[in-house]
Amino acid sequence: MEKILVGLKRVVDYNVRVRVKGDGSGVETEGVKMSINPFDEIALEEALRIKERGEANEVVIVSIGSGDAQQQLRTGLAMGADRAILVETAEAPDPLSGARALLEIVKRENPELVILGKQAIDDDNSQTGQMLAALWDRPQATFASKLEFDGNSARVTREVDAGLDIIEVDLPAVVTADLRLNEPRYVKLPDIMKAKKKPLDQVPLAELSVPDSPAIAEKNFEPPAARERGIMVDDVAGLVSALKDKGLL
């Protein structure tokens, strides 16, 4: 194939403890470490491995968000992507708006394969890949743990509740990456320096004729309730009694 397009989302790093803002308007991001969404990093790693096997000629990465997302795109370029596209918008898009924006980039780039993470760790929606496939009117293979190619088709092993599901889809197609698809590589300092010279195009969201205001309004955020302190019991009878007191038995 000629080209693979990979979506990257800027999220709070998975090692950071998420805190809700005092006014409940959102999650605190000021001074917080931000990273590539882990599932998107897996998607990029898979695209790079496909290219390194000689099954693709170019890997293009795209992110939707503020100018700060350039940091994550530069990381993706340091991993090995050939060029990057930033769709600039002040408001973080909802899944449908994100899918519509990605569709416009797909129309411009004409990739044979689009790989996204199965979900983002900030909202856990797991919707954008499926919506993009529907809007693009192309096959989709979600939750991929293995990806193989045979001519103009892809054989995808999917992780589902009942175990593994193997399907074949015609290309172009949308694939979403699951955790066990691969282990992303470490970025080395020389690659970070080289990434600064790679092309990074910036496209205003308005230029793609996609609404810049999310279709879904998030009005209030609350942290989860604090866990109750545990109790010690002396024996099985004490455990059963404690469970009955809590209405669990």
Give the mean pLDDT of the chain. 92
Residues 138/130, Cβ–Cβ less than 8 Å: no
Look up residue 41 and give its two tokens: 């990093």
Q: What is the CA radius of gyration of the chain?
A: 21
d(CA 186, CA 41): 11
For residues 76-90, average pLDDT: 95
Where do the structural domains in the chain lie, given as residue ranges? 3-222
| Sign of torsion over alpha carbons 130, 132, 134, 137 | negative
Residue among 174, 72, 70 at smallest CA distance from 131: 174
Query: Does the domain spanning 3-222 belong to CATH 1.20.1050.10?
Result: no
Task: Average the pLDDT over each of 84-88, 114-118, 201-205, 237-241 and give the range with the smallest value.
Answer: 237-241
Write phi, then psi, for 116 (nearest 5 degrees): -125, 160
Q: What are the b/e assignments for 31-66, b being 16+ CB within 10 Å?
A: eeeebbbbbbbbbbbbbbbbbeeeebebbbbbbbbe
- Write out the two tokens for 164: 């593994």
Contact 185, 76 (CB under 8 A): no
The pLDDT assigned to 211 comes to 75
181-222 pLDDT, tens per residue? 999 999 999 999 999 999 999 999 989 988 766 777 778 888
Q: How confident is the model at residue 50 (pLDDT cuts 50, 70, 90)?
A: very high
DSSP 20: B
Tell me whether residue 242 is exposed, middle or buried, using C-beta atoms within 10 angstroms of its C-beta: 0 to 12, 13 to 18, 19 or more.
Answer: middle
Query: d(Cα 213, Cα 194) in Å, to the nearest integer?
Result: 35
| pTM (2 d.p.) | 0.87
